[in-house]
Structure 1
Amino acid sequence: MRAPPSPTVSRPVMHQRWSELTFVHWRYPAGVVAPLLPPGLTVETFDGSAWVGLVPFLMKGVRLSGTPPLPWLSRFPETNVRTYVHDESGRSGVWFFSLDAARLPAVLGGRAGFRLPYFWSDMSVTRDATHWTYRSQRRHTGVRANLDVNVGPHLNSPDELAHFLTARYRLFNLVSGRLAAATVEHPPWPLNKATLTHLDETILQAANLPAPDNPPLLHASLGVPVRVGMWH
């Protein structure tokens, strides 16, 4: 099955690459997730379930439009907790419960410039050909997300659920008290099968989500280049 086409961001405010990324997803009852969303957003379901993602990865080449990437600032681990929603116009997108990053300037910029719930964490991403390791511990609180992942073969034809969980080209947030959206442009994710060999996390609980009661679904990716538009 082919992924939905990406929109074009004609005036990006940021460029980056999301690399060495693992999507870890669990089913949740829609009634558990819905109260955590702001007015104007509705949980999107697949096979009757809401889905919550824990997504660790490595940011590379982060830069504002018209500026070069700075070596130390432009490369760092990040982990987000997210779910899938649509607004009152039916536009689909992502709602972030939290985003952890290893660079304080990125955290401050994400909070001030994009009004996103960023947190400063001690983090690392390591990988060999088939084993990827993510470590994250939020400073001052100890909220953690530690994962070991075995990466399997490439998925030549990802199924409908894989596209539902990964082909997301819009993010929502509250900006000055109103619901805003930003468009994200990137090519289709090159996805691999993956299995979770170790998980030690409190980051879902920190987002006011109960512990999952079902096994996770994983997809891994070497990554994609990304162009991000401004809130509108």
Structure 2
Amino acid sequence: MKFEQTEINLKSGVHDKTPSFLQRLSVREAPLGSPVMRQRWSDLLFLHWQIEPKFIQSQLPAGLHVDLFEGKAWIGIVPFAMERVHPVGLPPLPWLSWFLELNVRTYVHDESGRPGVWFFSLDCNQPIAVEVARRFFHLPYNHARMRADYQTGEVIYSSQRRGTDQVSRFRYRCPLHAEPARDRSLEWFLVERYLLFTTDGMGRIRSGRVHHKPYRIQQADCSEWTAEPIRENGFAVLSGPPVSMLVAEPVEVSIYPLS
């Protein structure tokens, strides 16, 4: 497998090259400056489907381009738990710093070739976190009813966005034999992402960095899943199971301000 890096594709409207291998490696390094928040991500499940690049490109703002792997665009669902979320210099608060999140995402790069993530939605069961993320990070957060139960090594995860009747359920086992993704592999392309893009109230593209050790991942033992969160973002329900199903060990994360 290799990254799609050449060929102008005028029919699909996607950019003619994706970031180089060195550009992908460079965003893994800790950025200059000080982080504004710290947190821990755990119980991570990554589900991904292939999707036509033109469908993704049509939903992106000018200046961002679909990031391709072997000529395909990817859309993913990532449920997980956020723990010990707190601003730098302040302690975590028991009633505020632990919550659940489920995001729908795709992979993009900007005009300078920086690879990153574009979020179509981020559902969260902590209303204060939703408001903070919307106001200060300009991210499309939604308040949701969410629950994670744990039974003999399994995570039973459910999410229902406020104002909807649809409940999305996932059942998967925590990783036991995880290891870092192999460079240039599909798994590496999907999970090794340390930059997010969003737009502010003026329509300007903004970017933000996160930093953590590379994920240790393994193939997921996932007995229940749904593509419903993708449909809630205006895409047709995808047929068939995910092409890629991964779980990851917890990581300690530093969050940097938008630029």
Q: Give the TM-score band, short-chain normalised.
A: over 0.9
Which shows bigger deviation, 186-195 or 206-215? 206-215
1:225 to 233, 249, 252: 252
| Separation of aligned partners in 2, 1:157 and 1:66 | 31
| Separation of aligned partners in 1, 2:203 and 2:180 | 41
1:94 aligns with 2:120: no
1:106 match: secondary structure: helix
| Separation of aligned partners in 2, 1:13 and 1:156 | 29
Give the share of equivalent positions with the same residue, in percent. Answer: 38
Cα distance change on mapping 1:98 and 1:65 into 2, 3 Å: same
Note the aligned Cα RMSD (angstroms). 1.7
1:77 match: secondary structure: strand
Larger strand fraction of residues: 1
Q: Does the CA-based 8 Å contact 2:105-2:119 persist in structure 1? A: yes
Residue 56 (structure 1) shift: 0.2
Deviation readout 1:184-218 (Å, 9 max, x if unpaired)? 10101011221331124521111112222343111
Relative to the length of structure 2, the TM-score reads 0.83
1:51 match: secondary structure: strand
| Separation of aligned partners in 1, 2:152 and 2:193 | 27
Q: Which residue does 1:211 correspond to in 2? A: 237
Cα distance change on mapping 1:151 and 1:194 into 2, 3 Å: farther
1:199 aligns with 2:225: yes
Q: Which residue does 1:177 correspond to in 2? A: 203
Cα distance change on mapping 1:200 and 1:51 into 2, 3 Å: closer
What is the total number of aligned residue pairs between the two structures? Answer: 230
Q: Which residue does 2:17 correspond to in 1? A: none
1:167 aligns with 2:196: no
1:191 match: secondary structure: strand
Relative to the length of structure 1, the TM-score reads 0.93
Q: Which residue does 1:55 correspond to in 2? A: 78
Amino acid in the other structure paired with 1:7 = E
Q: Which residue does 1:110 correspond to in 2? A: 133
Amino acid in the other structure paired with 1:38 = P
1:83 aligns with 2:136: no
1:7 match: secondary structure: coil
| Separation of aligned partners in 2, 1:34 and 1:119 | 23
Residue 48 (structure 1) shift: 1.5
Residue 156 (structure 1) shift: 3.6
Residue 128 (structure 1) shift: 4.0
1:74 match: secondary structure: coil
Amino acid in the other structure paired with 2:30 = T
Q: Which of structures 1 and 2 has the larger relative contact order (alpha carbons within 8 angstroms, sep 6+)?
A: 1
Q: Which runs of 5+ in 2 are unaligned?
A: 1-23
Q: Does the CA-based 8 Å contact 1:42-1:86 persist in structure 2? A: yes
1:73 aligns with 2:105: no
Which shows bigger deviation, 124-133 or 66-75? 124-133
Cα distance change on mapping 1:58 and 1:157 into 2, 3 Å: closer
1:188 to 198, 206, 214: 214
Cα distance change on mapping 1:168 and 1:199 into 2, 3 Å: same
| Separation of aligned partners in 2, 1:85 and 1:200 | 24
